[in-house]
Structure 1
Amino acid sequence: MTMDDRKLDVLRAIIEDYVTTKEPVGSKSLVHRHALGVSSATIRNDMAVLEEEGYIRQPHTSAGRVPTNRGYRLFVDRLSKIKPLTAAERRAVHRFLDDAVDLNDVVHRTVRLLAQLTRQVAVVQYPSLSRSSVRHLELVPLVANRLMLVMITDTGRVEQRVVDLPEDLPEEDVLTLRTQINDKLVGIRLTETPTQVRTLVEEASPQLRPAMTALSTVLLETLVERGEERIAVAGTASLTLHAVDFAGSLRPILEALEEEVVLLKLLGEIDSGSTLNICIGEENKIAGLDGTSVVSTGYGPAGSVVGGLGVVGPTRMDYPGTIAAVRTVARYVSQILAQN
């Protein structure tokens, strides 16, 4: 069906009222609340067509209409305006995130902020190691035969390891090792570093090879073995505010949200920082979440994508407001990472 502008306006009005009131919407209330420019009888006819086409339904006899998942999908696909955050909300985003002291703080502040702005469950993926590159490697002498290896990624992730050397090492040799590993690894994706690390040992001078071997072992542990992805979640309790929107028990949803692999799947298909993914109802193929909607996007410095963030809530969601919050927060987190 080709949706003409008036029927789309009626559908939009039904969704806006239903999201606000949680009550089925009738033709008379649409006439009173919205300047649709037509009679109640015309609106009833439009509603009949929308119902026949599966965009709205009547939950019970003598009731108004409520949107279906198909109706929400059409509404989202035809959104011409995204409700912007208020000036106060934008200032709050900047102030709250500007005070972050490190990457962990950025992630935890971001997930709490998203949950507060949307009143939904917020999910933020830490910058993925598989998408990160080495920014700098520092060697800090602790004692003559022990170093602290500090690795900093381009996404702000910091890893520290102690390296025990087979023999005492003069400071000038430590400087040589630091120069060699930075020349070889800076700018390299973490997933591509093992080959480069092995080359470091092969190219080391006989005098430095024992120390480089010890260093490379710890480097491989740091770069490869810490390949786990991490997720932060906030706002799970807000689901209880929307219990009426979920058929049956909240338990399947709560159980799904406890599984990190499930949360990674929700965010895992993001491959462009400008792409916004919106999955509504049964479009979510994950068991337990087919009664929810998920709004997510990627984030990262300089147009790259190093992780994802988003919200999970009922299909009866303020989509324009949620989309604005997700986009704004992702954009600001990307700016923070670009500055660090």
Structure 2
Amino acid sequence: MAAALSSAAVIATSSSSSPAATIRSPFGPFGSRGPFRHNTLSLHGHHLSRKWSPVRGTLLEDNEMKVAVEDSFQSKSFVPDKDGRGDSNGDSPSSSTSAMESWTIKLEQSINVFLTDTVIKILDSLYHDRHYARFFVLETIARVPYFAFMSVLHMYESFGWWRRADYLKVHFAESWNEMHHLLIMEELGGNDWWFDRFLAQHIAIFYYFMTVFMYTISPRMAYHFSECVESHAYSTYDKFIKDQGDELKRLPAPEVAVKYYTGDDLYLFDEFQTSRPPESRRPKIENLYDVFVNIRDDEAEHCKTMRACQTRGNLRSPHSCVAEDESECILPEADCEGIVDCIKKSVSSPEKLSQR
């Protein structure tokens, strides 16, 4: 993921010149059983009000390697129902949703806006024209949310509160993908300065504990924050490609990028892209331009996955089920939302949380 985290960024495609784009349901056969509704997006930028502003995590969809975007995450677009699974249509608030719940969602989003805007101001002041160093810092901390999520889920598993393998598989694959982004930036010299390494590593430590705390209290908030980060990462790489595209096409691709994107074993590469069937995306790597195009599109896939995770139980691994009848693939699994919900369910119905 990369650079400047703007809460109100509206992302344009790298190759589309159309003033608007209509988005299909991005989760395909692997997403929500109730598909999200999408609107038409004007690709001209605009800004949100900071007063209880709806954070615009974006929903992205690839069409033959061309990624279109909509600013889909309005404050009403996630309305939890009485079962806690949520309604993503956003047409009208659910009658079963309390005013307190709606207020909580707005508060979570506003905090995310403040956090992302703060980070962007700091990074802008430190890395105005040092692109690779900036990318190195951001990719160093990019893996943090995913293994923070896994840390909490492993703890819940130890207590018998949670047992959903898809989340652990997908989050590990996301971390694996971000690690290769980091290796690419290191090969490009982004970690040459001691200051950059020191800053990135210490931010990562702080970010880890912050994400663990946030995910423990509200997984929805943690996933939404990561969606905002990933959506802006997409826009930042997209801008970099447009600005530096001609030069990038003349430079060779790092060896680590060629091995990662064109290797024989791409299971984990398919695993983090939860909105598309396995083997449906096979990148070409001929130069450095292709590398950054694929990093950008990886961030789009992360954004879609984080968007899906905001509805509890919505995440599905692309490799989890091959049966035509989806009901054959559903296994009883322990499930809870945040530590308060886990404790409450373990006390009230421990047998449900311990089933496989």
TM tier, smaller: under 0.3
Higher RCO (CA 8 Å, separation ≥ 6 residues): 2
What's the TM-score once normalised by structure 1's chain length? 0.23
Larger radius of gyration: 1
What's the TM-score once normalised by structure 2's chain length? 0.22
